[in-house]
């Protein structure tokens, strides 16, 4: 399956495909993606596709967008995969791509928040090497990307 999936950066022209993906999601999916229940508008889809203050990657099969992942400048990301295409490795591919992107952007950290019952997201975080912190009502995953440069003290 993962051979047929294309992961690529979103362009402005993708907004309708993103809008279609979001309209196919359940309330629960939307809650998990945004941390609150929210039906996106066409303008929201255009904003996601714009890459203005974030970078969005899409997972596509035969021209249909089946997943979306957005990384923000502070290193926080979130993603969603259409239910019919879950448990096939698409979410993992998207997060791997965001880690690469975060390194290229020279971000010092990449991070996500999710709910304690979100087993697939927790599995992705654990598998890819995120440090996970479990709280009663949320799980925080973090991966440090750059080591603080050691201060070089000139020898006398």
Ligand X SMILES: CC(C)(COP(=O)(O)OP(=O)(O)OC[C@H]1O[C@@H](n2cnc3c(N)ncnc32)[C@H](O)[C@@H]1OP(=O)(O)O)[C@@H](O)C(=O)NCCC(=O)NCCS
What phi, psi does 51 have (nearest 5°)? 55, 30
Size of the site for ligand X (CB under 6 A): 23
Cβ-based neighbours of 56, under 8 Å, separated by 6 or more = 9, 10, 18, 48, 49, 68, 69, 70, 71
Task: Establish if 133 lies at the interface with ligand X (CB under 6 A).
Answer: no
Instruction: Give me the 18-37 binding string for ligand X, x by CB under 6 A, dash otherwise.
Output: -----------x--xx----
**77-106 positions binding ligand X, by CB under 6 A:** 78-81, 86-92
3-state secondary structure (DSSP) of residue 129? coil
Indicate the residue among 39 and 127 with the shorter CB distance to ligand X. Answer: 127
Report yes or no: 25 and 80 within 8 Å, Cβ to Cβ. yes
Query: Nearest distance from residue 41's CB to ligand X, in Å?
Result: 19
Residues lying near ligand X in the complex (CB under 6 A) are found at: 29, 32-33, 78-81, 86-92, 112, 114, 118-121, 123-124, 127
């Amino acid at each position: 399956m993962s051979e047929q999936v294309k992961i690529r950066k979103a362009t402005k022209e993708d907004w309708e495909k993103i809008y279609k993906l979001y309209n196919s999601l359940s309330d629960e999916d939307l809650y998990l993606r945004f941390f609150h229940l929210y039906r996106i508008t066409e303008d929201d889809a255009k904003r996601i596709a714009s890459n203005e203050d974030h970078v969005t990657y899409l997972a596509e099969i035969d021209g249909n967008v089946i997943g979306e992942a957005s990384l923000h400048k502070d290193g926080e990301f979130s993603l969603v995969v259409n239910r019919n295409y879950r448990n096939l490795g698409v979410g993992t591919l998207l997060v791997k791509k965001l880690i690469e992107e975060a390194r290229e952007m020279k971000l010092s950290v990449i991070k996500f928040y999710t709910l304690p019952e979100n087993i697939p997201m927790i599995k992705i975080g654990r598998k890819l090497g995120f440090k996970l912190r479990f709280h009663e009502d949320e799980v925080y995953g973090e991966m440090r990307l750059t080591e603080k440069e050691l201060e070089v003290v000139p020898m006398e």
